[in-house]
Amino acid sequence: MKTMSRTLGWAVLLVILLAGTGRTLAANAPLDTLQTSEKAQPDPRYAGASMDISRKLLPEVSASTVPISRSPKQPPRLDDPVAGTYRYHLARQAAVAGNAGGINANMKAALQAAPDQPRYQWWQSVQAIKSFDTATLTRVLPASFRSMVDSPVGRGPFVIAAHQTALLASAIFWTVLVVALYLGLWRNLAHDAGAMLLKDPRHTPRVILPLLLPLLILAFKPGWLGLLAALSVPLMIQTRGHLRGLLLATWFVVMALVFPSWPALRMAVPTIDPDSEVTLLDQATHMPPSANLTAELNRRLADARDPARIDRLTVGLAIQEARRGNYQTSNRYFDTVLKHDPDNFAAMVGRANNIYYLGRLDDAAKAYDRAARAYPKRGEVPYNVAQVFFKKLFVPEAGAAMDKARALGFAPVALDTEPTRRGGYSAVVYPPLTAPEMSAACRFEAGLYPPLVTISSWRWLLGTPPLPLYVLVGTPFIVALLLVMWWSRQNDPRECENCGTPLCGNCCKVKDGAWLCAGCGETAERSKSDMVLATLLKNKSRAEGMAHAVRILRLGKVLPGAGHLASGHFWGGWLRLSLVAAGLFLIFGAWAFDPGSELATPGLQLTTEVINPVWFPLPANLWPGWSGLTVLTGAALLVIAWIVALLDGPGLRRGIPDRYSLAPTSGSRESVPGVGAGAR
């Protein structure tokens, strides 16, 4: 009995102890158990009891709200705005050192940090060409074209560089063409100069006279293009057919390139000015918060009167405030923009981002939904929505949103380390101003710059008179066209039909419908015998024809292509002249255009930065030396052109039409002029 009572006592004591232990466990139980206690302190590792984590977005329920104290003091970023520039400069250093592996590794990192930067893509394309890397070239080149089309800021420097390249290349080709035509038409120009200057009734050509024209023009210091334009006026009158068309087309291209009001060129200027509003907006929407940027935005905003300009500056200011963590202030700026422009993409998404960082997840999702309806093709919106879903632990919905973002072409590099995550918030994207808005900003500032400011360092070379370049080049163009249109004798024969001596309507002798020079005309008048006349004319024609052939061959060796143009072989002459012009451009100009340069272009160099401010205004720091690839390539083209010219001799001689005929004449006096009928 005593044993039974002792056993019962121990059992009661065990029950009491177990009950106490259960109460202790219940007091410390986490929220995922069925037992809770109001006196227990919540474990910070678990969500609070007042926080509803639902699987649905219920507009009438205030759910998924994070306390403001947990919001990040500064929003995390997906990108490092200076990482691309840093890795790009490392790649350029690797290129100087000849480290191909360093180029590829650093350019890969640079393009990951700034995938829409066409400058990086173009520079990598040039490196791929140098290393014959066709795989990289085919991958990067199309992407660079797409980036330039999509980004006005990225497109601007390339428009300026393309304009400078086209102007320099066209001027070099025009120079080669004018020299070739001048040499080929030297005797005709000497005839006209003798007629006008010496008043010689026989208009005897003076070989030295054509030199007076360029010397007289140079006295007025017209510059390179002005000299070419003035020299092209008599050439336009002398040439015919394809030659006149080529000269006209080249002249017109140069005149178009120096026209100052091309919208694309004017709009590109603000993109390379570090102090422009376009550069300010680009930095404000991409760079970390800066007191200087904010102060400059506020200063320009105080002076702004155009509503569109005010909205652009306000968006930049709002993004700067959001980067600081001033979400409420940023939203006030965004709301101001949305009152004027309800569909402003940067403001819609930026406001939704601020709501997300303020912890109002459902409100942020609704704001993103409105942006997605307005811009269904922008991948930034579903990407940002995915971050909201991840925060709410809606993993399937988050994955679907990420898939949609990738399908729309937005797939940023995943970064899971600081500072991309703060306070449990994943980074969302603050989109910058759209391409139309940046184009409007470029258009707004375009008129603030002088015309053709992008070739300001070339002014001493291209033209020094106080005249605009388009006037300096265009006025002689119009004069030449008027002379060609109004000169009634432009279709008259320009050479003797027997011997080929230059003549005109005032110095020729017409015999039986044939235009003859003074010598052939006197021979025809004095000859009493048809047989003697035919022999005399034939001998003179043969002598002049052989001398003409020698001049053509010599001309072809002096300047490849000039002999072909002078003998009527247009396409052969054009091809050889183009080869010479391309070689000269590669030697004297192509090396100055660096597709990877950030702001510096050859036409915008300071006087101290060029090789010679008058004769060679190209950047001295880019000169690769005579062993540079472009210089060697240009020299190779010139060597090939002159080798071809030397080999052209026999073929060019056979292609020169005879100015005389060995066919027997009929003996009648009327047939005598026909002896030289094959002249033209």
**Per-residue pLDDT tens digits for 561-580:** 998 888 888 999 999 999 99
Q: Does pLDDT of 374 surpass 80?
A: yes
Report pLDDT for 46. Answer: 44
DSSP H or E segment with residue 515: strand 514-516
Window from 21-25, 104-108, 126-130, 457-461 with minimum mean pLDDT: 21-25
Residue 184 has pLDDT above 70, yes or no: yes
| 221-246 mean pLDDT | 89
**Looking at the predicted structure, is the pLDDT value of residue 253 above 80?**
yes
Show Cβ contacts of residue 482 under 8 Å, excluding neighbours closer than 6 positions: none
Asked if residue 423 has pLDDT above 90, the reply is no
Question: Burial, 145: exposed, middle or buried (Cβ in 10 Å; 0-12, 13-18, 19+)?
Answer: middle
Query: Please, are residues 428 and 412 in contact by the beta-carbon 8 Å criterion?
Result: no
pLDDT at 35: 37
For residues 332 and 329, give the distance between their C-alpha atoms in angstroms, rounded to a whole number: 5
Q: What is the token pair recorded at 574?
A: 């054009």
Highest mean pLDDT among 31-35, 189-193, 556-560, 605-609: 556-560
Say which range, 82-91, 228-237, 398-407, has the weakest mean pLDDT: 82-91
pTM for the model stands at 0.79
Q: Cα dist. 285→120, 160, 463 in Å? A: 20, 24, 41
Please tell me the distance from the alpha carbon of residue 259 to that of residue 97, in angstroms, as a whole number. 42
Q: Which ranges in 151-240 belong to alpha helices (H)?
A: 152-184, 186-193, 212-218, 223-238
C-alpha dihedral sign at 116, 122, 128, 133: positive
> What single letter denotes the amino acid at residue 120?
Y
Who has greater pLDDT, 456 or 40?
A: 456
Taking the C-alpha atoms of residue 367 and residue 352, their distance in angstroms, rounded to an integer, is: 5
CA atoms within 13 A on the CB side of 405: 20
Least confident of 4-8, 24-28, 293-297, 491-495: 24-28
Q: Cβ(678)–Cβ(530) under 8 Å?
A: no
State how far the Cα of 281 lies from the Cα of 297, in Å rounded to an integer.
8
- CB 517, CB 503: distance < 8 Å: yes
Identify the weakest region by mean pLDDT among 217-221, 262-266, 287-291: 217-221
Between residues 455 and 495, which one has the greater pLDDT?
Answer: 455
pLDDT at 671 exceeding the cut of 60: no
At residue 539, the pLDDT reads: 67
**Is the model more confident about 282 or about 208?**
282
Where is average pLDDT lowest: 35-44, 204-213, 463-472, 535-544? 35-44
Residue 351, amino acid? R
Q: Which of the four pLDDT bands, split at 50, 70 and 90, describes residue 438?
A: very high
What would the two tokens of residue 259 be? 């026209």
Least trusted range by pLDDT, from 12-21, 195-204, 270-279, 596-605? 12-21
Taking 3-state DSSP, the helix, strand and coil percentages for the chain, each rounded to the nearest 5, stand at: 65, 5, 30
Per-residue pLDDT band for 209 (boundaries 50, 70, 90) equals: confident
Reported as half-sphere exposure (CB side, CA atoms, 13 A), residue 495 has a value of 22
Please, what is the average pLDDT of the chain?
79
Query: Does residue 528 register a pLDDT over 70?
Result: no
Q: Residue 308 pLDDT more than 80?
A: yes
Do 545 and 538 touch, CB atoms closer than 8 A?
A: no
Per the CB < 8 A criterion, the answer to whether 250 and 232 are in contact is no
CA distance 236 to 233: 5
pLDDT band at 662 (very low <50, low <70, confident <90, very high): very low
> Residue 514 pairs with which residues in a beta bridge?
511
Q: Does 58 have pLDDT greater than 50?
A: no
pLDDT in the model for residue 596: 67
Q: Which of 139-153, 365-379, 554-568 has the highest mean pLDDT?
A: 365-379
What's the DSSP call for residue 185?
T
| 386 contacts: CB under 8 Å, gap ≥ 6 | 398, 399, 401, 402, 405
For 654, residues 6+ apart whose C-beta sits below 8 A from its C-beta are: none
∠ CA 128-130-132, nearest 5°, is 60
